[in-house]
Amino acid sequence: MIKVGYIGLGIMGKSMARNILKNGYPLVVHNRSVQPVKELVAEGAKRANSPKEVARQVDVVFTNLPDSPDVELVALGPQGILEGAHPDLIFVDNSTIKPETARLIAKRLGEKGVLCLDAPVSGGDVGAREGTLSIMVGGQQEAVEKVMPVFNCMGKSITHVGDAGAGQVAKAANQIMVAAQMTAMAELLVFARKTGADPKKVIEAIRGGAAQCWTLDVKPPRLFEGIRTPGFKAHMQLKDLGIVLDTAREYNLPLPATAVNTQLFAAMVAMGMGELDNSAVIGIIENLADIELLDG
């Protein structure tokens, strides 16, 4: 059976690693903070003290880290995966990072014979726990085929988008749509509330038509209960939108709506709401409209 390593055991990574373990794969884990490592070791995983040590022991090593510099450091830096690389190792990154960083890492690890996949995910903490994530994959077909049984432990929709970096391009496109949906939902809820209609009834009315989407299915019930905890944190949404705009600048590509949505999430973070769910961007719209969704 394939030996698997997982590095980065945050909200998403810990659940994804746990699902790999539950499906019977030998698992080696590493994380900067020790508590999630202890939890998974208690469930049967093995602890490693560095990314290098993980890579040496496994056939496939996954990472799930906050941003491009973190992945580059773990993959290519001191005591990193590159130092522990061996023939037939496959590197899979579940983080959301810049496409160009994914391509750089694939090139450097490829020089040591490592096959690389950039495989960011969508579906939030619920999808990570339930193993129902959407996984967008860039890299060699050979590596996709070898890792597919492990992907199936984590997700229900696995799409090989193209060569190295293509998975990250797909995730960036996903985040353009997610931000647009969150801000549009915030605007329509505040619009309904300010103009005297019942926001719950408005959602009920429009979900059966062209406006139907995952965001309207999942987020309004939580907002109506006053729940604005993550989910997917707003500061991570802002980070992802930064990747989108940085990449757009590299290609001289105008994204005016995304630029405005990025400003709204930047305002959230500036106002101390970065740890809230990305749907809590409604707080910015409430502030501008001088009304609260749950008033009265």
Kindly report the CATH number assigned to the domain that includes residue 190.
Answer: 1.10.1040.10
Which of 109, 137, 163 corresponds to the end of one domain? 163
Cα distance between residue 184 and residue 61, in whole Å:
38
Q: Could you list the residue range(s) of the whole structural domain that residue 34 is in? A: 4-163
% of the chain beyond a pLDDT of 90? 96
The per-residue pLDDT for 125 is 87
Selection from 200, 278, 194 nearest residue 237 by Cα: 278
CATH code at position 120: 3.40.50.720
Same domain, 211 and 104: no
DSSP 192-239: HHHTT--HHHHHHHHTTTTT--HHHHHHHHHHHTT----SSBHHHHHH
In percent, the amount of the chain with pLDDT more than 70 equals 100
Give the pLDDT score at 296.
53
Out of 14, 52, 98, 171, the active site residue is 171
Q: Residue 217: CB partners within 8 Å, gap ≥ 6? A: 207
Please report the pLDDT score of residue 98 as a whole number.
97
148 and 177, same domain (yes or no): no
The number of distinct structural domains making up the chain is 2
Tell me if 254 is assigned to some domain: yes
Shared domain check, 46 and 153: yes
- Whether 242 is in a domain gets the answer yes
Give strand pairing partners of 162: 138
* Shared domain check, 61 and 138: yes
Q: Are residues 266 and 202 in the same domain?
A: yes
User: Which of 163, 186, 218 is at the close of a domain?
Assistant: 163
Distance CA 38, CA 198 (A): 47
Are 150 and 182 in a shared domain?
no
Task: Please check whether residue 294 lies inside any domain of the structure.
Answer: no
**Residue 229, number of CB atoms within 10 A of its CB:** 10
171 in active site:
yes
Q: For the residues 103-114, what does the mean pLDDT come to?
A: 98
**Mean pLDDT value of segment 82-88:** 95
Same domain, 227 and 159: no
pTM as predicted:
0.94
CA distance 214 to 178: 10
Answer yes or no: do 23 and 66 share one domain.
yes
User: At which of 163, 179, 198 does a domain end?
Assistant: 163
| Averaged pLDDT of the chain | 97
